Chains A and B, each alone.
Chain A
Amino acid sequence: MRARPLAAAAAAIVAAGIATGCSSEPAAAPRPAETSAAAGPVTLTYWTWAPGMDKIAKVWNAAHPDITVKVSKQAGGDDASAKFLTAAKAGNPPDLVQAEYQHLPSFVAAEAVADIKAEVGASRAEFSEGLWKMVTLGTDAVYGLPQDSGPMMLFYRKDLFDKYGIAPPKTWDEYAEAARKVHKADPKVYLGTFSSKDPGSFAGLAQQAGAQWWSIDGQSWKVAVADEPTKKVADYWGGLVKEGVIDGIPYFTPEWNKALNDGRLLTWPCAVWAPGVLSANAPKGKDRWAVAPLPQWTAGEGHSGFWGGSSVAVSAKSPNKAAAARFITWLNTDPEALRLLVEEAAIYPAAGKAQAAMTKAPDYFAGQADFWQQAATAATAARGFTFGPNVGVTYNAFKDAFDQAVAKKTSFSAAVQAMQDATVADMRKSGFQLAP
């Protein structure tokens, strides 16, 4: 009696196993024949979370019957990177993968992505020096093509700034003053929040201050997550959180959405992709938000940083690297594809000529005619840094350490030191050569 449901379950498992076995075979079968990458139809799988990418692939497929791109929609973020690394280790990765800049070095270190310099090297002129460095990691190889970039700006509630009588802050000192003023006027309202769940945002702010978390020195890595600029940024926010004038609720949470919608959060230092998030999470704020350059550490400077942005890489295991490279070159440099990327995927393309061609401000910011000029200024002002081969460790350490620091209002620079220690310990354990 008891064994029956088990047997049924077991049968189901076997059936499922057979089914997947069968379904994966036809996909794999044509591959070996294509190693030569010349004739015959090829099918490429593409893992991405960019919205509307299936429509863009359809356009490509219609024009290129020999190379069919199959888009497989992924969840974004750190999970996507973990999934790809696992698939690569298991031996069945997709041919193409969307790779956030900070995760690309981990992919390279795991030998999961291919060097496609020979196939895409000619596209170099399409991208800025800074973005190109993100896909070469400062080496001679090229591990992907830049797709979008996320220069940071300051998004703020124009109507509420007027209400509380504050002007867009030019420096971080002014930002702190404004934070005190707003919170004093209404204790339920905050100028902003510090998110302990978004290491990417913190990395961007640290970049603006001139941080260099990783760098390559000959044959060894230099790790400086706890460098002076980063500590300065950390202590600035830590001080405001401790003072109680900056909130501590994480971004992208239901609480945060509600605070944005209710007008209890007045600014968001975020990347150029913010309009998409705001329109989805805070629909009530339409036409009430405006954009300004990030506040500066020293008056008169013009620096920014990057939050997010991704490239498209080719799997080291893909038997169709040449075809894959052809597709991503089209996707990220062809004017028609770039237009589709902007319209369908709502991204800020990495290619310079596409950035220049953007004119109509996002709907949510319809009142801000100079939205894209501001974005272009931020893009040239943004300074990035080389990401290391174990960003996952560093970012996880950020979340754990800053969760604690925000909850207990303890030192933020101590949290930064915890990130540095975790990063170095992990690299040392794996055997990476570290500069003294």
Chain B
Amino acid sequence: MEPAAQDCHQPIIQIKNVSFHYRDQQVIKDLNFTIKERDFVGMVGSNGAGKTTLLRMIVGLLPAVEGSIELFGQPIRKFQDWERIGYVPQKNSFNPLFPATVREVVMSGLYNRKKMFRRLTRLDHQKCEDALEVMRIQDIADKRIGALSGGQQQRVFLARALINRPDLLILDEPTIGIDAETQAGFFELITHMHAHHHMTFLMVTHDLDMVKDYLGESPVSQNGKIQFYVRHSHEIENCAEVDLQHSLV
């Protein structure tokens, strides 16, 4: 996974010797894998390949049987900076009859451990309006989420993920159940974001054709039935640009 040339980008996700099995079935075996800042990684595989299992381990929802996972240099068990991660779920992960407006859903991107017991501030509301504007969904902000099309719903979840201006964006099969035209539009949107914003992307998908255009024809690595396609950060920015970004932070 490491690029051959010297790289000044910091590691965002480090997976070391990770294995996982359900009873007798080995799903992931001795996986070593590093995602650096501003990389775009596509995790591709058929149903049952273990993509979701790996994703759940990376975000701490599932403990690894063996090995270790670090997020932003911290072991996953001790990780606290959840606002640095934006998460876009599968379209069918929520109840479409849930009585929530687009604005309420986008706002929920701010509800993390650090915000517990705290009231939302005027700045929080402004962040929500900004996220709605960036995704161009202000005009549907007061509509019920279940009444929207699949493409609109994914823009809402993207706005929710971006509300904290995260460093890492995780997308779990974001285009499942969405028509081909909307899928293409959504993929264009996130690749544009990758090219123009200092963010790292990890996307789980079963759609090989979609990732090949942006991440290259061949996987850079494979573990079991999961293939990893990567567009490395050093392909889109040099070390001088990275230093400038770090000095701004």
- A pairs with B: no
Interface residues of B (CB under 8 A from A): none
